[in-house]
Structure 1
């Protein structure tokens, strides 16, 4: 169901490129390994691992662990995510799905009370919203299969940041203030992130000894330290009996020790499509990101965007997104529970049929899902699911990208869902638990209803592009459902409009997700760009906030790389390379 109260959360997305000894910069070019993240400390952690001989996977986990310290409201070991890895030696891409899953006690009616959907904000700030965290298991799978270093080695930089502390940025202080009500419902969260009932002061040094302890335990004992033993018991206790402040009552959850012990990551094959000479490699289900972006690009391939006025090209991009979202919402969910028509949705023939529903001249109305089944060529799909009401998706996540001197690449998006997740810090261990259960659709029937063990549908979209068999670029972003539109726009900006990647990322973002109103960012309304689109019938959502916080790496023909992070959003990102170009 679409819920008017739904807040948007920002997933952690990291791309790493690091020039040592240089002032913080969102763009860096050179040779060797590269990193782009939204956190200087995270980028430095990745670079430290690369300089010690670690590969891109090792460095990505180091960066992600550090983001759990410096950007705890977006991501951390209390959540889950999707990691895409390019193995240069094998010339293949694999993905590690460590999305959170529903506890074994969950049923489709878990968020129904007296036949009505539960209140969203009340559900978020509760034990009932917590899914089984997958991050540590995902890191374990990535490191043990594709890395070269141990947990102890790659967690060392993050332990240093958690122990010594980091200076509070304006962005961190603002997020603390905006989420103060939720976080102060829980004594453990209030004690960690507030002083005398107030958000930390700008520049204050914030330490997290509990998280340093958690990382040390994982470094010493591996992933078992998280999924069994004292830390696991602390997680289960925090969900079953949330550490609430006096007078506060929240709903308890039913996460069990068995749920944690039984959690598994999934190694999945990526999705592939083509766009104007590039092979675009995307994330498969249970993320909808790769499918929705692939379908939208297939739709856009029928137009010569670079020959059109900018407003017309942007209009077509938003209309392609509108149609892709209609299909995404109707058909996609955890592939272990729903037989989704993925081949049909990514078919070029289906795109040609679906393109007839696009109005090239005017902003269209809300559209119905198309019918991909005639293009599916899959006899195992037994029926056509019906579209249903949808929840809006939170947008607080992060994305990172890392490459190493051998040519391996990691694009990694992970999250705890809303800003601050459930609001519950696990006592003694310093990390916030997710509220990923609210990514299911409350009102059924629908492919994405809650079920025991099921993974909620995601929009996370770590993406890689290849040309003539060689890596061309990788990009990803946080932003809930706006991840799809951000990555789509960035690809169009770069490939069709020929923008350098930093300009492609810094361009104004619009997000059309099959709604009457289109989301924009601060300062967009009244601009020449906005006025040109208004003439085509666009209307803007009055709720205005930054959309996404993207990171990218571009791979040049001469062997050099350019790492790119945000130039203005989310407090400006950090891009580093091992050997800077001068």
Structure 2
């Protein structure tokens, strides 16, 4: 655990104004080049970039440019990752930001080691197992927990940014935060995705005057092409530059706690918003944890990701191990998409069954991680895989306590209610350092509650806890508790080949994060698709449920018909995940890849382009 010294210098901002765009909030519009950096729609975005010297890929052009600016100034991959994340706090505030948390995975080229930061939000000291139960002992409605102070956890993002930059970065926090401060001051061009997300939250945001003032200044969602400024967030970032994570020991931390404990609701709102349990002491006492990464070997590659409190790395790792075991038992051609996806879906069912039963905060519950990641255990779990027939989900967990994967340890547990709105980024530099970073405020728009005059939304991450233990005992590992981190599915991943970076990837999407990362790995490594091809493939998500989620492009394909004939059932969803990734092509060449269409498309860039 870690607490850092203060950073005392403050960066100055040179404001630039230009005409030609509708301006929201008080002040000048964005600079003239804003439309080129982050304009409306996919036309201003590059989903693939190939070149040398470093790379950044995120969901937003302005954020990617912030990371690139830091690389051009001599910063490394860690500096660029934090700069990109801080910019996303401005342009993608409904997915992640200063009021949330996340997990960062870092490859250090100097020593070849993988390091990870657990910056997950924590529960207040006053939160007990029954926190989400009403006076009759029944779970409160989930929607009431989402839009409440009760669902707000202690933010871990500020400490994550400071820890990463101070431990592994090359530039001072003042310089790393400069692009995001400028972006918040000058504004960014609203795109269609931002406008649609605001519209989807309009009724909720309208009940919180500060949220409405910030994101709907004219009483309605901003129009695509207009410019949105956030000077309050710029001031918060300046305070962070001066004080580092210790900024949460002072007025900003006190404001976070007060806002969660007594949410500022419009007096005319009909919404009943439950108060939270956060105190200023809870916020001030937060500490990130540097954990050992999860690790499995798959087809000669080393796959590293995030260990618990996230279930991402362990579940992806276990599924890959099961696939490896099943392949050894019943060899088949990896060029056959149906066989490969069938095996992926079957392995995912088994891995999710174990995830749902065993994963929680390892500082509060006993997580059998070594067993879950062992090839011996996966070899036993693979006894349930039949290449000719799909298992009918939900399937039972294995007995990970005794290391017997072929024995059912009890009835299946629920997946939980993890929200889908998160954001992911990847960065690399000319020295060979790599970062894969996923951070979040949970649902799109988090709790819906903005800290007055601070410019950021609070998370609702504590709704990732189980509200109660099921009658069959399932869910006990992820009950609320004082200071506890709720289980996450975040899976920032770095793959090494002979000790050198090969892939870096991750995605938002709640519990579908795991299946998105798994499918990207399977499609790239097993099926031999290029990384852009793998990114564009229709996605499937099997999380130990009777039906597998599938994107529209899957239906009517040969794989749809052939997998259905094996007993798989599919249900349609509009999109799964919004990934970003890097591939290291050899000769210091990097391919940066973002989504071409999902969430409006992402943006990838390299320092020196070579097409």
TM-score band (shorter)?
A: over 0.9
Q: Is the 8 A contact 1:34 1:404 kept in 2?
A: yes
**Out of 353, 358, 362, which is 2:380 matched to?**
353
Q: Is the 8 A contact 2:335 2:527 kept in 1?
A: no
SS of residue paired to 2:570: coil
TM-aligned CA deviation for residue 367 of structure 1 = 0.4
**Out of 550, 564, 570, which is 2:579 matched to?**
550
Which moved further from structure 2: 78-87 or 307-316? 307-316
Q: Is the 8 A contact 1:100 1:133 kept in 2?
A: yes
- Residue in 2 aligned with 1:572? 601
Which moved further from structure 2: 105-114 or 20-29? 20-29
**Out of 535, 538, 544, which is 1:514 matched to?**
544
- Residue in 1 aligned with 2:170? 148
1:439 is aligned to 2:484: no
Q: Is the 8 A contact 1:479 1:547 kept in 2?
A: yes
- Residue in 1 aligned with 2:131? 110
Superposition map of 1:36-435 within 5 A:
36-113=57-134, 114-225=136-247, 227-245=248-266, 246-247=268-269, 248-301=271-324, 302-303=326-327, 304=331, 306-307=333-334, 309-365=336-392, 366-375=394-403, 388-435=413-460
Q: Is the 8 A contact 1:278 1:467 kept in 2?
A: yes
Q: Is the 8 A contact 1:189 1:424 kept in 2?
A: yes
Q: Is the 8 A contact 2:315 2:352 kept in 1?
A: yes
Report the Cα distance in structure 2 between the residues aligned to 1:513 and 1:305, rounded to whole angstroms. Answer: 24
Report the Cα distance in structure 2 between the residues aligned to 1:71 and 1:522, rounded to whole angstroms. Answer: 25
Q: Is the 8 A contact 1:312 1:361 kept in 2?
A: no
**Out of 563, 569, 573, which is 1:539 matched to?**
569
Q: Is the 8 A contact 1:411 1:463 kept in 2?
A: yes
1:562 is aligned to 2:591: yes
Q: Is the 8 A contact 2:538 2:552 kept in 1?
A: no
TM-aligned CA deviation for residue 20 of structure 1 = 10
Report the Cα distance in structure 2 between the residues aligned to 1:116 and 1:411, rounded to whole angstroms. Answer: 39
Report the Cα distance in structure 2 between the residues aligned to 1:413 and 1:107, rounded to whole angstroms. Answer: 28
Higher relative contact order (CA 8 A, sep 6+): 1
Report the Cα distance in structure 1 between the residues aligned to 2:418 and 2:250, rounded to whole angstroms. Answer: 33
SS of residue paired to 1:417: coil
Q: Is the 8 A contact 2:417 2:463 kept in 1?
A: no
**Out of 491, 502, 507, which is 1:472 matched to?**
502
TM-aligned CA deviation for residue 535 of structure 1 = 1.9
Per-residue CA deviations over 1:101-160 (Å, capped at 9, x if unaligned) read 000000000001112111000110000000000000111111111112222111110111
Superposition map of 1:457-468 within 5 A:
457-468=487-498
SS of residue paired to 2:185: helix
**What is the number of residues matched between the two proteins?**
556
Q: Is the 8 A contact 2:506 2:513 kept in 1?
A: yes
TM-aligned CA deviation for residue 532 of structure 1 = 2.6
Which moved further from structure 2: 22-31 or 433-442? 22-31
Q: Is the 8 A contact 1:84 1:283 kept in 2?
A: yes
1:452 is aligned to 2:487: no
SS of residue paired to 1:410: strand
Report the Cα distance in structure 1 between the residues aligned to 2:69 and 2:173, rounded to whole angstroms. Answer: 15
Report the Cα distance in structure 1 between the residues aligned to 2:332 and 2:545, rounded to whole angstroms. Answer: 23
TM-aligned CA deviation for residue 507 of structure 1 = 0.6
Report the Cα distance in structure 2 between the residues aligned to 1:389 and 1:221, rounded to whole angstroms. Answer: 42
TM-aligned CA deviation for residue 523 of structure 1 = 3.8
TM-aligned CA deviation for residue 322 of structure 1 = 0.5
TM-aligned CA deviation for residue 235 of structure 1 = 0.9
TM-aligned CA deviation for residue 390 of structure 1 = 4.8
SS of residue paired to 1:447: helix
- Return closer, same or farther for 1:142/1:385 CA change in 2, 3 Å cut-off: farther
Report the Cα distance in structure 1 between the residues aligned to 2:196 and 2:414, rounded to whole angstroms. Answer: 33
TM-aligned CA deviation for residue 374 of structure 1 = 3.2
TM-aligned CA deviation for residue 352 of structure 1 = 1.3
Report the Cα distance in structure 2 between the residues aligned to 1:264 and 1:212, rounded to whole angstroms. Answer: 24
Q: Is the 8 A contact 2:516 2:539 kept in 1?
A: yes
Q: Is the 8 A contact 1:165 1:206 kept in 2?
A: yes
Report the Cα distance in structure 2 between the residues aligned to 1:577 and 1:442, rounded to whole angstroms. Answer: 44
- Residue in 2 aligned with 1:10? none
- Return closer, same or farther for 1:387/1:256 CA change in 2, 3 Å cut-off: farther
Q: Is the 8 A contact 1:79 1:133 kept in 2?
A: yes
Report the Cα distance in structure 2 between the residues aligned to 1:168 and 1:324, rounded to whole angstroms. Answer: 40
Runs (5+) with no aligned partner, structure 2:
1-35
- Residue in 1 aligned with 2:535? 505
- Return closer, same or farther for 1:390/1:400 CA change in 2, 3 Å cut-off: closer
- Residue in 2 aligned with 1:11? none
Report the Cα distance in structure 1 between the residues aligned to 2:387 and 2:606, rounded to whole angstroms. Answer: 42
TM-aligned CA deviation for residue 438 of structure 1 = 0.3
Report the Cα distance in structure 1 between the residues aligned to 2:112 and 2:556, rounded to whole angstroms. Answer: 47
Report the Cα distance in structure 2 between the residues aligned to 1:307 and 1:143, rounded to whole angstroms. Answer: 41
